[in-house]
Amino acid sequence: MAEKRLYDAAVEGDVKSLLDLLKEDPLILDRVSFTCSNKTPLHIATICQRTAFVQEIVQRNPLLAAELDSHQSSALHIASAKGYAEIVKDEDGDTILHLAVRTIHFETVQYLMGSTGIDVNAKNANGHTALDILELTPTYLRDANNYLSIKNCLQPKACNSINPQTQPIKWLTKKRDAIMVVAILIATMAFQAGVTPPGGVWQDNATDDSHKAGEAVMASIHPKALFMWSLMVIMWLTVTSTAVTYAVSIVVVTPEKNRKSLGNVIEIGLIVWCSVMAILLVGNTVRLVDRWLQKRGITVWRPRRFRDLVEVQNRNVNQEGV
């Protein structure tokens, strides 16, 4: 009598009746799994698409999910064959097809695609279809043959299978990683070129004061001042661009309520930085022009040490004259 009431509840999807029966006989589900030779109440509820009843009965007795009927079919087989997506989904919204694709089981995918009415375009909780999950599978987990076979099996029946949000996110992630690698390489190369210039540095001081220890050898042997000045300016621009990019990225990811104060700090920092760069640029430009004029015999200004030497010589000449 109790078993008949259980089957009637399965047909109707009456969860309350199921709970009442379990209060009267807590072992009724265990007994059904041993005495039933055809379909269990779980099979019946699945056939009738009673999702709430199926979830409750599986939660109460998970072993019923493995029970087979006279056709050697479990409740999951029936739900897959009839395309009852809500029954075959797990807590993440993945159907049996999603799980088979995620684990690269070609035989299972082939069976589900050929022998059941499962929805190829069903999406999980993340909005991914089976084909999306296949594309997102890490390379090291892919079996080349099974991967291509599954893809060929899914594509003919897939309709708009690629999630429109997936590709932009993947593209943005790849571009961001590539830009980060390039930025690190530029910074590393620039720093390395600055501390270890081509040709190395002088190890001693010259007697004629042409160079000092620690200065670049190339600057003395190949004094191409114009090119050195250009490279220096380019390096400053590179560092400035990196600093501006970093500042902008910090502002973008900062919450709007804190963005104003942070923006003021960054603005002041950028103004100071650009001012220092401008002063250095003007100073080195004046220095370059002065050297260019000196080579043509035009002296605009003299170093202080040279002026002091001239003044001393003039005083000596005046004293000798007196």
Residue (of 43, 38, 48) closest to 64 by Cα position? 43
What's the confidence (pLDDT) of residue 322?
47
Whole-number pLDDT of residue 265: 83
d(CA 150, CA 130): 10
Q: What's the whole-number mean pLDDT along residues 2-7?
A: 76
Question: DSSP string of 236-255?
Answer: HHHHHHHHHHHHHHHHHHS-
Report all structural domains of the chain as residue ranges with CATH numbers, in order of start.
1-88 (1.25.40.20), 91-113+121-163 (no CATH), 177-202+211-223 (no CATH), 224-322 (no CATH)
pLDDT digits (tens, 9 = 90+) for 251-308: 777 777 777 787 788 888 888 888 888 888 888 788 778 777 877 777 666 555 555 5
Confidence of residue 123 (pLDDT cuts 50, 70, 90): confident
Q: Rounded to whole angstroms, how far apart are CA atoms 68 and 231?
A: 78
Q: What pLDDT shows up at residue 301? A: 61
Q: Is the pLDDT of residue 208 over 70?
A: no
Instruction: Work out the average pLDDT over 22-28.
Output: 80
> What pLDDT does residue 76 have?
66
Checking if the pLDDT of 16 tops 80, the result is yes
- Residue 39 pLDDT level (bands cut at 50, 70, 90): confident
The top-scoring range by mean pLDDT among 93-107, 220-234, 301-315 is 93-107
Nearest Cα to Cα of residue 119 among 170, 72, 153, 80 = 80
C-alpha–C-alpha distance, residues 172 and 198, integer Å: 38
Tens-place pLDDT, residues 150-197: 777 777 666 544 444 445 556 667 777 788 888 888 878 777 766 776
Q: Average pLDDT in the 223-231 region?
A: 67
CB atoms near residue 230 (< 10 Å): 12
Quickly state the pLDDT bin for 318 (edges 50, 70, 90).
low
Task: Give the pLDDT mean for 225-241.
Answer: 76
Q: Over 80: is that where the pLDDT of 203 sits?
A: no
Would you state the pLDDT for residue 166? 47
Give the span between the Cα atoms of 216 and 163, in whole angstroms. Answer: 57
Whether 49 and 84 have beta carbons less than 8 Å apart is answered as yes
Q: Residues 288, 229: contact at Cβ < 8 Å?
A: yes
- 51-92 confidence digits (pLDDT tens): 788 878 777 777 777 677 767 666 766 666 665 656 556 566
